[in-house]
Amino acid sequence: MTATSDNVAWLTQDAYDRLKEELEYLMGPARLEVAKRIEEARAEGDLSENGGYHAAKEEQGKQEARIHQLQQLLQRAKVGETPQDDGVVEPGMIVEIRFEGEDEIETFLLGSRELASLDESVDIEVYSLQSPLGSAIHGKRVGETASYEAPNGSTINVDIVGAKPYGA
């Protein structure tokens, strides 16, 4: 599968390595553990009233769904090096913006939304490069203003207040 800019999942090397490690565990030892529990429960007899069997089968289904989810994400992943600390907004940056007419500064990571939903260690809001805001600010420098169209059709202006590499 070739990654296009529309379906790329932008990941840091660290995030990619953690997700790949999880996938390997789920496809190896975790699969064997669940299969063993299913077999043990099956040996107990009547499956229609066997709670252990049904719980193990449900766990197996969830595990297989997670394996599929991780495989899809890693297949589309573009592993990026930590971006330069040059004030240019790009994936892997913690971005600070101020919406026109407001005083409050909003801070978020420009990266993969999938990563945020898959990795509990990401404790900051994540905007994807494909989002209207993400695509509007991509490539802008600190001090510049970007505009994008809101779902209701109005134009929203944001000032780029800061841009630092994630983890810096």
- Domain span at residue 65 reads 9-79
Residue spans of the chain under pLDDT 50: 1-5
Would you mind telling me the total number of residues written for the chain in this entry?
168
73/39 Cα distance (integer angstroms): 31
Enter the pTM of the model: 0.59
Indicate whether 147 belongs to any domain.
yes
Indicate whether 96 belongs to any domain.
yes
112 and 134 together in one domain: yes
- What is the per-residue pLDDT for 95? 95
- Closest Cα partner for 133 from 113, 103, 104? 113
78 within 8 A of 90, measured Cβ to Cβ: no
Extract the tokens encoding 152. 């209701």
Indicate whether 1 belongs to any domain.
no
**DSSP letter (8 states) at residue 29:** I
- What is the per-residue pLDDT for 11? 73
92 and 153 together in one domain: yes
Q: Which residue has the tokens 């994936």?
A: 91
Q: How many domains does the chain fold into?
A: 2
- What is the per-residue pLDDT for 116? 58
